Amino acid sequence: MDWVSTQSSFKTADGPRRVTLIGSTGSIGTQGLDVIKNAPEQFSVTALSGGYNLTLLAEQAVTFRPEVVGAAVDNVDELATAISSAAREAGATGYAPQLLSGADAATQIAGYSETDVVLNGITGAIGLEPTIAALKAGHLLALANKESLIIGGQVVKQIAAPGQISPVDSEHSALAQALRSGTPEEVSKLIVTASGGPFFGYSYEQLREVSPAQALAHPTWDMGRMVTTNSATMVNKALEVIEAHLLFGVPLERIEPLVHRQSIVHSMVEFIDGSVIAQASPPDMRLAIALGINWPHRVAGAAKPCDFSTASSWTFEPLDESVFTAVKLAKQAAAASGTHMAVYNAANEVAVEAFHEGRIRFTDIVETINRVLDAYTPVNAELSAEVVLQTDQWARAHATALLKEKA
Ligand SMILES: NC(=O)C1=CN([C@@H]2O[C@H](COP(=O)(O)OP(=O)(O)OC[C@H]3O[C@@H](n4cnc5c(N)ncnc54)[C@H](OP(=O)(O)O)[C@@H]3O)[C@@H](O)[C@H]2O)C=CC1
Ligand SMILES: CC(=O)[C@@H](O)[C@H](O)COP(=O)(O)O
Ligand SMILES: [Mn+2]
């Protein structure tokens, strides 16, 4: 527990927090704006960064009136036109934000100085540069984009001040809350719960035949395409085990996945006296987002609590690691070197796209990660963001070539 302080020693502004949202048009981003809309006395929006959904981004901009708006599109005029037309439709006048566009817009916006908190809700390795920019600018980083921490590893940890990252991933928010119950020396185990995804109980042979539509039918959460697919392969749980290790400094052998089909207990900490502290709430990311952007303080009414007035059951069962090998593979990769997880993640991102394009089977996703890791030899260079990004590029190219051979 060396890094995310359970009480947060990181100094944030007193009073209302100014929030920058990276990936504002996605699942995390839109729920983040919902949290802010419901607590206007606690938060304001400084900057919004989206990808390609300019209609939604422009609507958000006109509603929340941030100082800066950015999109991934190449031409800034497209963004300007979208905002003018959203303003006209809403009858809004006199709003002229600073506009940014292109591949670098999210990073520039994450580093924009006039803010207190950056919610990073982008998907994938492209979140690394915004994560680093937010940390270097001295902002609290409410981190949903787990990939940036996992691939950045020690590079990100060295840039972050103690308590500068607040977890938004539901399991890590739960762990951070449970860890408030004891000292680092008193922690014996982190238990990371998993819904089990849509294919819980499937054999390997059954998994070979599943379709993209089936993989996107998550039993409990409504999320973006990448994280939903990762839940189905258990790559999401694999990434989350490594994320917990990096956030809380607990050794990998003392972090375990546990299937909990209801997604109500979001994770648990076992202490040395045999006590287990769990965090429970119905599956609603607004709770973790609200706590993340307001860390370490709770936001009243952020989400509904469990309803214990009617009978319900919570179940817990081990993950079948003979069928779902992603967690074991990630633990091996994370132990191998500081860049193996960048390879793991990049190979996964390429394979997930190929699966959704109908080019490979579901079981080929983890198989591809395995094969790219097997082919990887770390470069003999000091670990840096550049080395991580070069490794990411190598792994993408290698995975792409492997999948071409397969076709
Ligand atoms: N959704 C959830 O409940 C949870 C998500 N997470 C994590 O949070 C992160 C976000 O997930 P989620 O919200 O589901 O993902 P989504 O796919 O719903 O959203 C991704 C966001 O990133 C934007 N984006 C895509 N490409 C670019 C680009 N090149 N430059 C800038 N922005 C870009 C998208 O913009 P646009 O749509 O405009 O193209 C969108 O705003 C992931 O790391 C995920 O693992 C963690 C826990 C729960
Ligand atoms: C909501 C959230 O944090 C997701 O990362 C969630 O954990 C996905 O569910 P799985 O447990 O199925 O991976
Ligand atoms: Mn999660």
Convert the pLDDT of each residue in 238-283 to its tens digit. Answer: 999 999 999 999 999 999 999 999 999 999 999 999 999 999 999 9
Residue recorded with tokens 């007035």: 309
pLDDT of res. 385: 98
Amino acid type, 137: A
**What burial class does residue 233 get, using C-beta atoms within 10 Å of its C-beta: 0-12 exposed, 13-18 middle, 19+ buried?**
buried
pLDDT of res. 12: 77
What ligand is nearest to the CA atom of residue 146?
1
Ligand 2 atom at shortest distance from the alpha carbon of 234: 13
How far is residue 2's CA from residue 293's CA, in Å, rounded to a whole number?
20
pLDDT of res. 407: 74
Q: pTM of the entire structure?
A: 0.98
Q: Is residue 212 within a helix (H) or strand (E), and if so which, with residue range?
A: helix 212-215
Of 149, 195, 284, 319, the residue with max ligand 2 atoms within 8 A of its CB, to mutate for a pocket test, comes to 195
CA 334: distance to chain centroid? 18
The stretches in the chain having pLDDT less than 70 are: 1-9
297 is in an annotated binding site: no
**What burial class does residue 257 get, using C-beta atoms within 10 Å of its C-beta: 0-12 exposed, 13-18 middle, 19+ buried?**
buried
pLDDT of res. 6: 55
51 is in an annotated binding site: yes
Ligand 1 atom at shortest distance from the alpha carbon of 71: 31
256 is in an annotated binding site: no
Ligand 1 site residues, Cβ closer than 6 angstroms: 23-29, 50-53, 72, 106, 121-123, 126, 144-147, 169-170, 221, 223-225, 227, 285
Q: How many residues does the chain have?
A: 407
Residue recorded with tokens 């940014």: 100
CA 237: distance to chain centroid? 11
| DSSP label at residue 161 | P
Q: Is residue 158 within a helix (H) or strand (E), and if so which, with residue range?
A: helix 146-159
How far is residue 168's CA from residue 121's CA, in Å, rounded to a whole number?
9
